[in-house]
Chain A
Amino acid sequence: MTRKQKRLAVIAGGMSFIIVAVLLVMFAFSQSVAYFFMPADLAKTDVKPGTRIRLGGLVAEGSVKRGQGSTVSFTVTDGTGNVPVSYTGILPDLFREGQGVVTEGTFDAAHNFVADSVLAKHDENYMPKEVADRLKADGVWNEGKGAASQ
């Protein structure tokens, strides 16, 4: 090979690696990105069973029920809509009724939400940001309530 051909081969190799990376990123985005919904959104849009989403809202008062073993069911609400959620595993330390949560999982055929991860707020100063933003926008949130729940 001449020097020019060699250089071309190197550049082609580098470019093809970058193209592979770009394709991988696009493929991974189409596969593994979860959209965020609140219960009220789900009334408007149809999420197919098996599609991964994040569901956020408040844990409805009096809705937490312990089932067999470590399965827990509760309702996520945002004042307008309610979604029943079941989850197997250990709930975060800060999981409580009336507090904000973000759950991630899929709907089953019976339109129950089966979560495989549940996140509660990290400390006493805030709730998951997505939830707080939306509750504020919808007027359900008020600072007094946030302070009283501490």
Chain B
Amino acid sequence: MIVEIGHYALVLALAAALILAILPVIGARRGDAAMMALATTGTLATFWLVALSFAALTWAYVVSDFSVRNVWENSHSLMPLIYKYSGVWGNHEGSMMLWLLILVFFSALVAVFGRNLPDSLKANVLAVQAWITAAFLLFILLTSNPFLRLDPAPAEGQDLNPVLQDFGLAVHPPLLYLGYVGFSVCFSFAVAALIEGRIDAAWARWVRPWTLGAWTFLTAGIAMGSYWAYYELGWGGWWFWDPVENASFMPWLAGTALLHSALVMEKREALKIWTVLLAIMTFSLSLLGTFLVRSGVLTSVHAFATDPTRGIFILCILAIFIGGAFILFAWRAPMLKAGGLFAPISREGALVLNNLILTVATATVLIGTLYPLILETLTGEKISVGAPFFNMTFGLLMLPLLVAVPFGPLLAWKRGDLLGALQRLYLFAALALVAGLVFYYVQNGGPVMAIFGLALGFWGMFGAVADLWYRGNFSKVGLVVGFRRLAGLPRSVFGTAIAHFGLGVTVLGIFSATLFGTETVVEMKPRATVDAGGYSLTFDGMREAVGPNFTEERGHFTVSRGGVAIADVWSSKRLYTARRMPTTEAGIQTFGLSQLYVSLGDPMEGGGIVVRIWWKPFILCIWGGALIMMAGGFVSLSDRRLRVGAPSRKAKTVKATLEAAE
């Protein structure tokens, strides 16, 4: 019964979304306040209906109702409870439900926090959100309905894919979708602005918190996914340039560009048309990512099931929304007035450089991801574009950006002083180089060019410190006054510095783990010892163990340094009984920011086993840096100026802070 209520709620949500997609737009054109007000109520109603439907599906999972086909296919009564919750989105239908839930969640946030938006803009934004909602509701109801029943009901389920039975599944998809789908709000704002044919700095100020929020969650989602793949797959890699990874990375790159161009628009009313285009492109890349991952055109752990009708349906959604938005853009963009002028060497100029590099880099990732698919469709020829391609193109193109990042915040708006910025930064650059040298010396070995890679990471970190250092004017006024000055700055200044610092940390981690890491593949018998990263690893033997829904062979290793045992590492091979599917559980030991990673291979004749051991120096910096970037995003988001829903009595303070920030 509860399942049927969920199904029914989903159909009602479609009806609500269809009404919502039409009436507020007409209301906005005619200036009919009642019709526009419908947008807010309707959006909230849709949200509650979808939430009810999602709750019903979750309930079916928690009580293991195997008469529901989706539950039977992807769950098992013995599965731990947390995986029953997270297993809801561990399959195609459920993950689309999560996508939809987050979409309507964002619509509801706009409806609630958008109180001080102009009525017509708000009505149009919510209507565009409703178009997307209706499209995905149709998709779910017609091709991927999770509420279909089985008769007779099977006694036991088929279990969730073992790779997904992990805490990562509880966190990675929701975070990723909060980012991916969050960009829909930017898209809707852009389309609404095009419908109205009017756009100004206030528009950028309204869009910015949504971009920032989506970007922050996407950063976290990608980092989480990368770490999950790293420890779960047992291949020791943290990024494979797999099309599915690229699918989430492209919106992130475009979103990062959008974040920066919206800044120019907000402060200087320039780059208006470009910002609108970027907002459309970012969400288009999110939709493209959804298509790549969900349609089954790619083989990956993310492609749960391949059903051609789904692929074609998503492709249609893609074509309608992207095509429609671009046609609207081509038609309306010439009506938007171009904004202010600025010198090439200025804060705006630096942000334009940022946008140029990020969009070109996004384009190379897009080409590398789509080229094999297009070639296969057109000629039937099958090729693979792998990591070497992306390292050569994307990697090289990003280098100038990494060099330029610390300059941006030090340049003034309108007309900056590059020489002045150089004078302020050369000491920090020298420090970064020294830090790179010291790091290289301590790591002992590796290519000499590594020094520059490491220095680039430190340069990003020190550059962020330099930004705050000069803003506080510490060198002239001393520590106490300097900190007091810093305390008076708007939070977004700190957000920028923190995020840029995090970028530096990630870059440092990437260079360190790639250039100084070691990999050893060796056959080990009990009592055998292998050295890695200054530690020695002794294999003690295998032991059998039984988990709730799997059996495993666990290998025990003792890590010692200088003859003293300091840690135990367990690495195992599991067999999940319901699906007869083996998985490798890597043994990971963390030392500071570095990790020792042990993965088991096949047993050999004579009692030995193949073992693969990686030493990953400072690898945690990669994800740590992403966490710092995320923290920067949240700090920026807490800035007063961005609180769109702030009550009007604060208007004075907002104005005051704005002036202070100029």
Binding site for B on A (CB under 8 A): 6, 9-10, 14, 17-18, 20-21, 24-25, 27-29, 31-36, 54, 66, 69-70, 88-91, 93-94, 104, 121-126, 128-130, 150
With A90-B610, A91-B602 as contacts: A36 and B384 at CB distance below 8 Å = yes
Task: List, sorted by A's number, 22 A–B pairs whose CB atoms are closer than 8 Å.
Answer: A9-B344, A14-B356, A17-B360, A21-B360, A21-B363, A24-B393, A24-B397, A25-B367, A28-B393, A32-B385, A34-B386, A36-B381, A66-B605, A69-B610, A91-B601, A93-B583, A94-B582, A122-B163, A122-B299, A123-B163, A123-B301, A123-B581
Chain B residues whose CB sits within 8 angstroms of the CB of A150 once the complex forms: 580
- B384–A34 touching, CB < 8 Å: yes
With A90-B610, A124-B580 as contacts: A27 and B392 at CB distance below 8 Å = yes
CA separation between A25 and B363, bound complex, in Å?
Answer: 10
Chain B residues whose CB sits within 8 angstroms of the CB of A124 once the complex forms: 579-581
CA separation between A28 and B522, bound complex, in Å?
Answer: 33
- A35–B364 touching, CB < 8 Å: no
Chain B residues whose CB sits within 8 angstroms of the CB of A33 once the complex forms: 383-385, 389
Apart from A24-B393, A93-B573: 19 A-B pairs, beta carbons within 8 A: A21-B364, A24-B364, A25-B367, A29-B389, A33-B389, A35-B381, A66-B602, A70-B521, A70-B610, A89-B601, A91-B601, A93-B581, A94-B582, A104-B384, A104-B386, A122-B163, A123-B301, A124-B579, A124-B580
With A90-B612, A122-B299, A126-B299 as contacts: A18 and B381 at CB distance below 8 Å = no
Could you tell me the dominant secondary structure of chain A's interface residues?
A: mixed
B534 in contact (CB, < 8 A):
no
CA separation between A25 and B579, bound complex, in Å?
Answer: 42
Residue-wise, chain B 604-639 has the 8 Å CB interface mask toward A (1 for contact) of 110000101000000000000000000000000000
With A21-B397, A27-B392, A93-B582 as contacts: A66 and B383 at CB distance below 8 Å = no
7 shortest A-B CB distances, which residue pairs? Answer: A36-B382, A90-B601, A32-B388, A28-B392, A129-B299, A93-B582, A70-B610
B653 in contact (CB, < 8 A):
no
What band does the interface of chain B fall in when counting residues whose beta carbon is under 8 Å from A?
35 or more
Chain B residues whose CB sits within 8 angstroms of the CB of A29 once the complex forms: 371, 385, 389
Chain A residues whose CB sits within 8 angstroms of the CB of B368 once the complex forms: 25
CB distance from B391 to the nearest CB of A (A): 9
CA separation between A29 and B367, bound complex, in Å?
Answer: 10
- B393–A21 touching, CB < 8 Å: yes
Chain B residues whose CB sits within 8 angstroms of the CB of A20 once the complex forms: 397
Which one, B364, B522, B573, contacts A25 given CB within 8 A? B364
Most buried by B among A10, A33, A93: A93
A37 (CB) vs chain B CBs: closest residue: B382
With A33-B385, A36-B383 as contacts: A70 and B522 at CB distance below 8 Å = yes
B305 in contact (CB, < 8 A):
yes
CB distance from A90 to the nearest CB of B (A): 4
CB distance from B574 to the nearest CB of A (A): 9
Q: Please provide the chain B residues from 549 to 584 with a CB less than 8 Å away from any CB of chain A in the complex.
A: 573, 579-584
CB distance from A14 to the nearest CB of B (A): 6
Which one, B360, B382, B388, B523, contacts A69 given CB within 8 A? B523
- B612–A89 touching, CB < 8 Å: yes
Chain B residues whose CB sits within 8 angstroms of the CB of A9 once the complex forms: 344
- B386–A32 touching, CB < 8 Å: yes
CA separation between A6 and B306, bound complex, in Å?
Answer: 54
Chain B residues whose CB sits within 8 angstroms of the CB of A126 once the complex forms: 299, 306
- B357–A24 touching, CB < 8 Å: no
CB distance from A128 to the nearest CB of B (A): 6
CA separation between A71 and B602, bound complex, in Å?
Answer: 11
Chain B residues whose CB sits within 8 angstroms of the CB of A32 once the complex forms: 385-386, 388-389, 392
B599 in contact (CB, < 8 A):
yes
B593 in contact (CB, < 8 A):
no
Chain A residues whose CB sits within 8 angstroms of the CB of B383 once the complex forms: 33-36
- A93–B584 touching, CB < 8 Å: yes
CA separation between A130 and B373, bound complex, in Å?
Answer: 12
Chain A residues whose CB sits within 8 angstroms of the CB of B580 once the complex forms: 124, 150
Chain A residues whose CB sits within 8 angstroms of the CB of B356 once the complex forms: 14, 17
A32 (CB) vs chain B CBs: closest residue: B388
A119 (CB) vs chain B CBs: closest residue: B299
- A28–B604 touching, CB < 8 Å: no
CA separation between A10 and B584, bound complex, in Å?
Answer: 53
Chain A residues whose CB sits within 8 angstroms of the CB of B581 once the complex forms: 93-94, 123-124
Which one, A14, A24, A69, A122, contacts B522 given CB within 8 A? A69
Most buried by B among A21, A34, A88: A21
B396 in contact (CB, < 8 A):
yes
Chain B residues whose CB sits within 8 angstroms of the CB of A130 once the complex forms: 382
B161 in contact (CB, < 8 A):
yes
Q: Please provide the chain B residues from 393 to 443 with a CB less than 8 Å away from any CB of chain A in the complex.
A: 393, 396-397
B296 (CB) vs chain A CBs: closest residue: A129
CA separation between A20 and B356, bound complex, in Å?
Answer: 13
CB distance from A22 to the nearest CB of B (A): 9
Chain B residues whose CB sits within 8 angstroms of the CB of A125 once the complex forms: 305
B343 in contact (CB, < 8 A):
yes
